[in-house]
């Protein structure tokens, strides 16, 4: 009898984990390529991933069309393809004026309190209050009442002036255009508790359940309102940028210092003033003092003082930007001293919003109190969505080591939080790490001998950078595997897309001009475009004659037909004429050959009807052009630029990419700590129903992916 009871207890102990509600961990990495992952697993360099493959499943994962970060992660979150999420690129165009705008987000401006009537409302309230007091006093003491009435008029006027000066009429905000319901919201509605960390396109954070938590990822701006705007303070009189001339990222704010020794006064341009008519930016002073021996500098800013030697990063530095005595915004960032002699060269990373002291209404977490709680528990962290500092190295301001040190420092902080989250009591944990993507972007030139920016000396020192980033990923996966074993959790490890070499940039608008699909005005000079123009309302399409233009390219690999009735100055008739034009463009673009190598530049041209089941015909581009390995749409094309040459060698640091590369070439990774019975090649939209299936939660609508079993 005792033996039977013992066996029963053993069986019960084994069955309890199976009877308990399933815990799911989804560990996401941006830009991890299936080919390199498999290669290095087979070589024994990624032991944790190899073990995960052996015990469960590994397969290349098919990304969205196009294979872009916000596009794929939006489909990951919602289970529907880009035609339905509405996120098909970093950029979209406004058909009313052809202008590019950000696809996922729009700025809003909402009234604060009573809006334009704030001064009248507050001034009137003060006047009314003291006027009533005056009338009451006049009943018994006429003189005192008259004095109070005069005072009421003065106080009401003073309140009017003070409110007009110190209280804004409106406050800026952000709206997220991504459509669909994230799987964690569906799980939360079914009573399953979730924790979601730094998944792209989740800003502003949305509350989705009691006891559920979210920290926003890509999309959170820096203090300047940009994806990332660093600063470079230099005493060089003949300073010239040594990085890419194609303005592939956001501008660095270069500040000229008055001297290279002694005490140097300078300024930091902070956030744009969107609360009051002036000044346009909130600017704070900063003092740089060069040591007598020229071997270090002291920095004084916002009541803090720190000293740096060349080659050193600072710790977190706080910044206080006062709009007025009542309204102040707090930021954090880090300095890096490039050199202190003969010239002072000081770099300041983009200024993040301080997670411990966020502005009211600026929601980077749900609930709003979670962001400061994390800072208190784990220390300050980057709130900026694009965390790894790629700007400095891309524009020639930084060395590879400076970039790498910042990357490791950032990952260490995120990993500290992840290790804590792994042992939470949540049913669902999702965390994304961006660092493999950023490393691949800047170090591919050290991996590919055919790349125009390849350098043998650089390759000797940094040719293993991508491998080292994958080894770092493997270490994080090891932590997740241990936690999954302890909690009997399902573990999915995945990436949104892979990578390819970006050897040559393709100017598609130039191709359209040379092949008669776009017509230019004569005598109009056009400057090179950069993404700052999106914020600063720069001019676009100045030299295009829309009355003679049939098609135009914009974004990272899309072509729009200048359709009559849809575009502001459309000339192509809907129906047969439009269909014939799309067929012709597809045929001719796929014949586009690199005259130097004989390689096909374009792998496929896909009509939106071929890849999306449902879409808004006024929003989604007509054609998606996908490149072969080695080619990518140019930065100028992304913003409607029309350079002289069809193909341009990419000699920039930003040397690896995926954005317009055919998704079949840049597949991501999919690992699962269970064996799959199906032979289906996973699609990124499959993760949504797979997670909900594990949690035993029904999908809220028809999905574009299927559950993997």
- For 84-134, how does the pLDDT look when each residue is reduced to its tens digit (9 = 90+)? 999 999 889 999 999 888 888 888 888 877 878 877 777 667 666 766 655
Residue 11: inside a domain:
no
Under the banding of pLDDT at 50, 70 and 90, the label for residue 146 is: low
Tell whether 214 and 83 lie within a shared domain.
yes
Q: Which of 431, 518, 424, 443 is nearest to 473 (CA)?
A: 431
Tell whether 570 and 695 lie within a shared domain.
no
257, 262, 294, 308, 402 from 340: Cα distances, Å: 12, 11, 6, 9, 16
Report the pLDDT averaged over residues 140-146: 60
Residue 270: inside a domain:
yes
Under the banding of pLDDT at 50, 70 and 90, the label for residue 247 is: very low
Q: Which residue has the higher pLDDT, 227 or 182?
A: 182
**Domains held by the chain: number:** 4
pLDDT, position 18:
43
Report the pLDDT averaged over residues 192-216: 96
Tell whether 434 and 555 lie within a shared domain.
no
Tell whether 292 and 408 lie within a shared domain.
no
Q: Are 127 and 155 in contact (CB under 8 A)?
A: yes
For the cut 80, the answer to whether the pLDDT of residue 5 exceeds it is: no
pLDDT, position 14:
46
Q: Which residue has the higher pLDDT, 128 or 6?
A: 128
For the cut 70, the answer to whether the pLDDT of residue 13 exceeds it is: no
Backbone φ, ψ for residue 292 (5° rounding):
-60, -35
Distance, in Å, from the CA atom of 11 to the CA atom of 288, rounded to the nearest integer, reads 70
Residue 589: inside a domain:
yes
Contacts by residues 610-614 (CB-CB < 8 Å, ≥ 24 positions apart): 611/65, 611/81, 611/83, 612/81, 612/82, 612/83, 612/84, 613/81, 613/83, 613/84, 613/704, 614/83, 614/84
For the cut 80, the answer to whether the pLDDT of residue 137 exceeds it is: no
Buried b (16+ CB within 10 A) or exposed e, 46-58: bebbbbbbeebbb
For the cut 50, the answer to whether the pLDDT of residue 627 exceeds it is: yes
3-state SS, residue 264: strand
Q: Are 407 and 435 in contact (CB under 8 A)?
A: yes
Q: Which domain holds residue 63?
A: 18-87+180-220+385-499+666-709
- Global pTM reads 0.91
Residue 254: inside a domain:
yes
Residue 569: inside a domain:
yes
Tell whether 186 and 211 lie within a shared domain.
yes
Under the banding of pLDDT at 50, 70 and 90, the label for residue 19 is: very low
Tell whether 195 and 238 lie within a shared domain.
no
Tell whether 424 and 458 lie within a shared domain.
yes
Residue that terminates a domain, selected from 622, 638, 657: 657
Tell whether 241 and 336 lie within a shared domain.
yes
Q: Which residue has the higher pLDDT, 18 or 625?
A: 625
Residue 94: inside a domain:
no
- Out of 44-58, 93-107, 246-260, the most confident range is 44-58
Q: What end-to-end distance do the CA atoms of the chain give, in Å?
A: 40
Mean pLDDT across the chain: 90
Residue 173: inside a domain:
no
Tell whether 570 and 608 lie within a shared domain.
yes
Tell whether 246 and 263 lie within a shared domain.
yes
Residue 105: inside a domain:
no
Tell whether 541 and 624 lie within a shared domain.
yes
For the cut 70, the answer to whether the pLDDT of residue 641 exceeds it is: yes
Distance, in Å, from the CA atom of 107 to the CA atom of 200, rounded to the nearest integer, reads 18
The single-letter DSSP state of residue 544 is B
Tell whether 142 and 251 lie within a shared domain.
no
Residue that terminates a domain, selected from 375, 406, 439: 375
Q: What is the CATH number of the domain that holds 689?
A: 3.40.720.10
């Amino acid at each position: 009898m005792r033996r039977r009871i013992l066996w029963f207890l053993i069986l019960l102990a084994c069955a309890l984990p199976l009877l308990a509600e399933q815990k799911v961990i989804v560990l996401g990495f941006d830009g991890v390529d299936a080919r390199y992952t498999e290669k290095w697993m087979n070589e024994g360099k990624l032991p944790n991933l190899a073990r995960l493959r052996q015990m469960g499943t590994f397969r290349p994962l098919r990304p969205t069309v196009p294979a872009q970060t916000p596009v794929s992660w939006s489909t990951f979150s919602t289970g529907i393809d880009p035609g339905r999420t509405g996120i098909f690129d970093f950029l979209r165009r406004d058909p009313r004026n052809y202008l590019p705008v950000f696809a996922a987000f729009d700025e809003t401006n909402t009234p604060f309190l009573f809006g334009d009537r704030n001064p009248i409302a507050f001034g009137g309230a003060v006047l009314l209050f003291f006027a009533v007091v005056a009338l009451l006093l006049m009943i018994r003491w006429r003189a005192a009442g008259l004095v109070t009435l005069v005072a009421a008029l003065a106080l009401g006027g003073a309140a009017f002036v003070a409110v007009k000066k110190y209280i804004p009429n409106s406050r800026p905000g952000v709206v997220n255009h991504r459509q669909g319901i994230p799987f964690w919201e569906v799980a939360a509605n079914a009573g399953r508790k979730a924790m979601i960390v730094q998944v792209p396109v989740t800003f502003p954070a949305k509350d989705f359940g009691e006891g559920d938590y979210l920290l926003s990822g890509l999309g959170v701006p820096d203090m300047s309102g940009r994806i990332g705007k660093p600063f470079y303070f230099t005493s060089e009189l003949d300073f010239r940028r040594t990085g890419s001339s194609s303005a592939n990222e956001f501008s660095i704010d270069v500040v000229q210092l008055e001297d290279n020794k002694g005490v140097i006064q300078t300024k930091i341009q902070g956030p744009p003033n969107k609360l009051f008519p002036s000044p346009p930016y909130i600017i704070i002073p900063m003092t740089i003092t060069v040591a007598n021996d020229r071997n270090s500098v002291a920095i004084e800013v916002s009541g803090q003082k720190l000293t740096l030697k060349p080659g050193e990063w600072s710790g977190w530095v706080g910044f206080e930007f006062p709009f007025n005595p009542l309204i102040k915004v707090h930021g954090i960032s880090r300095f890096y001293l490039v050199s202190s002699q003969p010239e002072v060269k000081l770099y300041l990373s983009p200024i993040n919003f301080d997670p411990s002291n966020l502005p009211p209404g600026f929601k980077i977490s749900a609930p709003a109190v979670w962001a400061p709680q994390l800072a208190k528990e784990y220390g300050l962290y980057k709130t900026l969505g694009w965390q790894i500092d790629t700007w400095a190295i891309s524009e020639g301001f930084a060395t590879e080591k400076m970039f790498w040190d910042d990357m490791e420092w950032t990952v260490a902080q995120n990993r500290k939080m992840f290790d804590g989250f792994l042992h939470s009591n949540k049913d669902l944990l999702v965390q994304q790490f961006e660092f493999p993507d950023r490393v691949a972007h800047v170090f591919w030139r050290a991996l590919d001998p055919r790349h125009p920016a390849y350098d043998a000396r650089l390759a000797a020192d940094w040719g293993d950078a991508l491998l080292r980033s994958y080894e770092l990923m493997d270490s994080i996966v090891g932590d997740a595997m241990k936690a999954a074993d302890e909690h009997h959790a399902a573990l999915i490890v995945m990436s949104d897309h892979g990578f390819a070499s970006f050897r040559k940039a393709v100017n598609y608008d130039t191709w359209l001009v040379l092949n008669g699909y776009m017509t230019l005005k004569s005598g109009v000079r056009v400057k090179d475009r950069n993404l700052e123009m999106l914020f600063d309302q720069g001019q676009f399409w100045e030299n295009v004659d829309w009355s003679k233009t049939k098609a135009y390219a914009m974004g990272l690999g899309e072509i729009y037909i200048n359709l009559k009735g849809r575009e502001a100055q459309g000339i192509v008739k809907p129906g047969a004429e439009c269909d014939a034009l799309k067929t012709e463009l597809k045929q001719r673009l796929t014949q586009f050959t690199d005259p130097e190598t004989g390689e096909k530049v374009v792998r496929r041209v896909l009509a939106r009807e071929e890849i999306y089941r449902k879409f808004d015909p006024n929003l989604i581009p007509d054609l998606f052009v996908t490149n072969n390995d080695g080619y990518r749409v140019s930065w100028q094309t992304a913003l409607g630029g029309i350079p002289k040459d069809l193909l341009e060698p990419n000699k920039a640091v930003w040397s690896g990419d995926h954005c317009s590369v055919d998704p079949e070439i840049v597949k991501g990774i999919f690992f699962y700590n269970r064996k799959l019975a199906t032979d289906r090649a996973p699609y990124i939209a499959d993760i949504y129903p797979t997670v909900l299936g594990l949690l035993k939660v029904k999908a809220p609508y028809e999905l574009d992916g299927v559950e993997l079993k």
